[in-house]
Structure 1
Amino acid sequence: MTYSIRTATIQDAAGIAKVHVDSWKSTYKGIMKQTVLDNLTYSSREASWRQNIECKGNIVFVAVNAEEQIIGFTSGCKTKEDEYPTYDADVTAIYLFEHEQGKGIGKAMLKRLLAEFKTMNYDSSIVKVLADNTSCRFYEAMGAEKIDSNPMLVAGDELELLTYGWEKI
């Protein structure tokens, strides 16, 4: 299967929302309460992604298949002020439909985002991920090192949120 990665446009918000919701439902099943996953909607995520795409400073890329259907996305921005002062950028999201995982698409999207960070003179980056998420191994394989761990409340459940970092991208 062939795919390409391109900058997201506002017209991509619905496709991104579908990947986001469907990915959460497969990725976080058994990690988050099912009610949290059941309450995710395409319409709320689409509205959120419209804002994200239009927000100055946000970078959003989509992976599309040969039919130009969105199969994954990644986004990032400058790190929050004073959060991790030695890191410049933040990989805020990277999601693929479950059936598209393991094909190198996530790796290609991450590399594209990190390359964009470099063009913005960002030399380092973080990414946050739930400890029970299998993507921790993906970030480690991509050279990120665990730099922090914090509790995170989701629907009354305390989950462990890990922060990984690349000191040099």
Structure 2
Amino acid sequence: MRIRKAVLSDVKGIAKVHVDSWKTTYKDIIPNDFLNNLSYEQRTKLWTQNVLRKDNYIAIAENADGKIVGFADCWKRETNPVPFSSDITSIYLLDQYQGKGIGKRLLLQLFIHLKQLGIKNAYVDVLEENNTRYFYEHYGAKLHRTKPIKIGGVVLNELTYEWRDVDCVLSMLEK
């Protein structure tokens, strides 16, 4: 498995992972109509913009065949007023690659990047019913707040977790 920084030619692979992982991760959480309407084309446009953003760092995971099987990104959202902080905005893996340590390696790449930027703490949003929240908790994230959000016509709880010490997270991830 190879982890590297994304480049523009990766956007179709990132978009495919984004759509396919949403369909498995959010099955029985987000309405099927919403999930079935996700498109590779729409996500390719989104990820083209994201790769071109100077403030967005995207790491991808490639299998031995060079196929993108996961990705993660971070940047500081406009809604984040906390100095020297950033947001982990996504970590997605194809279903068959989950539970193999790839998410940990992607998260490590993000935190290495944040450390290089002088970031002190980071936030991540996750749906309450998404078991990934336990992954974040395992690596030291603490619940910061809960708020209702609407996706596909359904109101869900979005949890915001916070890591207060990038160095502490790095020490856990590097083990």
Question: 2:98 — aligned with what?
Answer: 101
Cα distance change on mapping 1:86 and 1:131 into 2, 3 Å = farther
Structure 2: how far apart are the matches of 1:35 and 1:104? 31
Question: 1:92 — aligned with what?
Answer: 89
Q: CA deviation at 1:58?
A: 0.4
Structure 1: how far apart are the matches of 2:77 and 2:41? 27
Q: Which is further off, 127-136 or 70-79?
A: 70-79
The reply to whether residue 77 of structure 1 matches residue 75 of structure 2 is yes
Question: 1:43 — aligned with what?
Answer: 41
Q: CA deviation at 1:111?
A: 0.9
Residue from 129, 139, 151 that aligns with 2:136: 139
Structure 2: how far apart are the matches of 1:119 and 1:108? 17
Identity over aligned pairs, percent: 40
The reply to whether residue 61 of structure 1 matches residue 72 of structure 2 is no
Question: 1:158 — aligned with what?
Answer: 155
Long gaps (5+) in structure 2: 167-175
Q: What TM-score comes out, normalization by structure 2 length?
A: 0.92
For residue 76 of structure 1, give the secondary structure of its aligned residue in structure 2. Answer: strand
The reply to whether residue 148 of structure 1 matches residue 140 of structure 2 is no
Structure 2: how far apart are the matches of 1:165 and 1:111? 16
Residues 84 and 118 in structure 2, CA contact (< 8 A), matched pair in contact too? no
Structure 1: how far apart are the matches of 2:108 and 2:61? 12
Residues 79 and 88 in structure 1, CA contact (< 8 A), matched pair in contact too? no
Aligned length: 166
**What letter corresponds to residue 103 of structure 1 in structure 2?**
K
Q: Which is further off, 17-26 or 71-80?
A: 71-80
**What letter corresponds to residue 131 of structure 2 in structure 1?**
T
For residue 29 of structure 2, give the secondary structure of its aligned residue in structure 1. Answer: coil
Residue from 11, 15, 18 that aligns with 1:17: 15
RMSD: 1.1
Structure 1: how far apart are the matches of 2:146 and 2:5? 31
